[in-house]
A and B are shown apart, each in its own frame.
Chain A
Amino acid sequence: MKEIYVLVKRNILIFIRDRASVFFSVLSMLIVLMLMAVFLGNMNTDNTVEVLEQYGGIRNATLDRENAKRLISMWTLAGVLLVNCVTVPMTVMGNMVTDEMEGRLAAFYVTPVKRSKIATGYILASWLIGIVLCLLTFGLGQGYLAACGISMLNISDCAALAGMIFLNTFLYSAVAYLLALFIHSSGAWSGMLTVIGTLVGFVGAIYLPVGMLPEKIVTVLKAFPVLHGAAMMRSVCTRDSLAATFAGLPTEVSEIYQSEMGITISLNEQTISDFTSVFFVIGLSAAVTVAAFVVSKYRAGRDR
């Protein structure tokens, strides 16, 4: 266990010491947050208000807009958080690729430390940094919204969201490790990061709500954990604002809205519960982790 602790500490230190890389990680997530709040936020808020007008008859228009604004802000924040859950662990794992390229991995492989422990060291370090930076994004996001006069999430929702951050960052740390076993140059790695960073926004239906995507594509996306991660986080983030926004309206309106916005996912006309999504992500994490260790062990007996 001590070796794992040493390796995790080393990997974290390597990441933190690269100040520029930490700075740009934080900066890029803030930029995404701002852009989404400013541009996409307004568009989605307008749409939401429209839905309310359509079904609600004469209601308090000012209150509707305010509710919709909070709902969409929280929805956006959840999406940004998920993007970070994917990209931060991947960025951190880039150090493993550099370690391999520059021969440092070989130096670890000639020590008596088992390869599975070396793998664990990389995965845990990515996971921990992922958790910290995502929680930081969440804190900053909440602070920013509070400054705009939007009330914060309650403690129990915050706790649930933290749990989801733990879960999703772990999955993408394991995925990152598995990918790093196959990529041998840091150029290729950063290229892949760019692609994944861009794709995640669409795959998770974060830039565009699911309702705006073609049905066939959505069916495919349901097989990927990104959409499920986004849905579970949105579901927690928007729980109370949904209730407030749709108060007094038929439940179908809220249900349709949630499914259009990717807050819930439905399969064969049936809404998938958050529990199922969580279970899916846990199962997938386990599968990816097993695969990562198997590939890693298989590699140990072969050429690099």
Chain B
Amino acid sequence: METAVKVLHLKKYFKEVKAVDNINFQIQRGELFGFLGINGAGKSTTINMLCTLFPPTDGQVEICGYRLGKDNEKIRRSIGVVCQNNSLDNRLSVKENLVIRGKLYEKDSNKLKRKLDDVCEIMSLKELVDRRYAKLSGGQKRRCEIAAALLHTPEILFLDEPTTGLDPATRKLVWESVEQLREELNMTVFLTTHYMEEAARATSIAIIDAGHLKEQGTPFDLKERYAKDKLRLVAAAGKEQKLIQMLEQKQLSYYVKESDIILTVDNSICALPVLEMCREVLDGFEMLQGTMDDVFLNVTGRTLENRES
């Protein structure tokens, strides 16, 4: 498989702030790469360097085979960027905005018109094209921003927190559009987010924390390694002590949350012998799948409280 993005020892220091500190990763062509981290972790700094907005303090970057710092203009032609803040003009209509953006890439106005129709189709903007950008909802604006970045059919699409601040339904819609892009156009997508759960939809994930790359892999792989499944046991009336005794006898580690007893297991299959053993003292049970939240917490060693800060 071809490599779309190659990052080696990338660093960015703002005076004493080490925003990005020696990170390495690769993205294969056609991947949906999720760059995961809390606010201030260094996501935007990384994406802005890859998009040629400012130079790294140190390190090598190759995008679509072009060296950053040497072939910046070629890189700019190969990428589409949706920055963290909306960047279209409030005072112009959606169509005016898209035409202006498109003309900066495509000189042939017939071709541009076709592309305009295409992206409006993909991002379902047909009804919005004549509306003033300022009057759109947050989700509609986001879709326009993505459409503007797609006008020149880039090989790689960079999205900096495309779903931040949107309601869950709209977030889902944005993800669906992105997945569709990847499938239909075989586009490589680099996306940052601080919503841990939605990162599970990516094909590959990297977790960044305080400028350091902590872990990377597929969501499945990371969950396997960092998010153990949990077994929640509900004891039959009056059998709580009995259940606890049985678990202790087998030296199984558990903890009690409210009236439930929760066991961490390597995977669902490992729960079977436990269930078999305690069958007669149980009222019910539930398997809790490991989540990306767990992965994130285990990887970064952070607690949920300071996550949203």
Tell me the A residues contacting B by CB distance below 8 Å: 2-3, 6-7, 9-10, 13-14, 17-18, 102-104, 106-114, 301-304
- Pair count A-B, CB < 8 A: 70
Tell me the B residues contacting A by CB distance below 8 Å: 14, 48, 51-55, 73, 76-77, 79, 81, 83-89, 91-92, 96, 100-101, 103-105, 107, 148
**A3-B104, A14-B92 given. 10 additional CB < 8 A pairs?**
A2-B103, A2-B107, A7-B104, A9-B100, A106-B83, A107-B101, A110-B52, A110-B83, A112-B76, A303-B14
CB of B100 within 8 A of CB of A6, answer yes
CB of A103 within 8 A of CB of B83, answer yes
Q: How far is the CA of A112 from the CA of B77 in the complex (A)?
A: 6
Cβ contacts under 8 Å, B53 to chain A: 106, 109-110, 304
Known A3-B103, A17-B91; judge A303-B54 contact (CB<8 A): yes
A278 CB to closest chain B CB, in angstroms?
36
CB of B87 within 8 A of CB of A111, answer no
Q: How far is the CA of A50 from the CA of B86 in the complex (A)?
A: 63
Q: List 13 A-B contacts (CB under 8 A).
A: A6-B103, A14-B91, A14-B92, A102-B85, A102-B86, A103-B83, A104-B89, A106-B87, A107-B87, A110-B53, A111-B105, A112-B73, A112-B77
Known A106-B53, A302-B54, A302-B55; judge A6-B87 contact (CB<8 A): no
CB of A112 within 8 A of CB of B87, answer no
A118 CB to closest chain B CB, in angstroms?
9
CB of A112 within 8 A of CB of B104, answer yes
CB of A104 within 8 A of CB of B91, answer no
CB of A102 within 8 A of CB of B100, answer no
CB of B100 within 8 A of CB of A10, answer yes
- Closest CB pairs A-B (n = 7): A107-B87, A103-B85, A17-B91, A112-B76, A110-B81, A6-B103, A111-B104
Cβ contacts under 8 Å, A303 to chain B: 14, 54
Interface of B is mostly: loop
Q: How far is the CA of A3 from the CA of B106 in the complex (A)?
A: 10
CB of A14 within 8 A of CB of B89, answer yes
Cβ contacts under 8 Å, A18 to chain B: 91
Q: How far is the CA of A2 from the CA of B99 in the complex (A)?
A: 13
Q: How far is the CA of A302 from the CA of B49 in the complex (A)?
A: 11
Q: How far is the CA of A266 from the CA of B284 in the complex (A)?
A: 101
Cβ contacts under 8 Å, A10 to chain B: 89, 92, 100
Q: How far is the CA of A18 from the CA of B84 in the complex (A)?
A: 25
Q: How far is the CA of A109 from the CA of B77 in the complex (A)?
A: 12
Q: CB-nearest residue of chain B relative to A112?
A: B76
A290 CB to closest chain B CB, in angstroms?
23
Contact of A107 among B54, B55, B73, B81 (CB under 8 A): B81
Q: How far is the CA of A10 from the CA of B87 in the complex (A)?
A: 14
Cβ contacts under 8 Å, B77 to chain A: 112
Known A14-B91, A112-B73, A303-B14; judge A103-B104 contact (CB<8 A): no
Q: CB-nearest residue of chain A relative to B99?
A: A6
Q: CB-nearest residue of chain B relative to A109?
A: B53
Cβ contacts under 8 Å, A9 to chain B: 100
Q: How far is the CA of A102 from the CA of B84 in the complex (A)?
A: 10
Q: How far is the CA of A2 from the CA of B88 in the complex (A)?
A: 20
Cβ contacts under 8 Å, B48 to chain A: 106
Known A303-B54, A304-B54; judge A107-B91 contact (CB<8 A): no
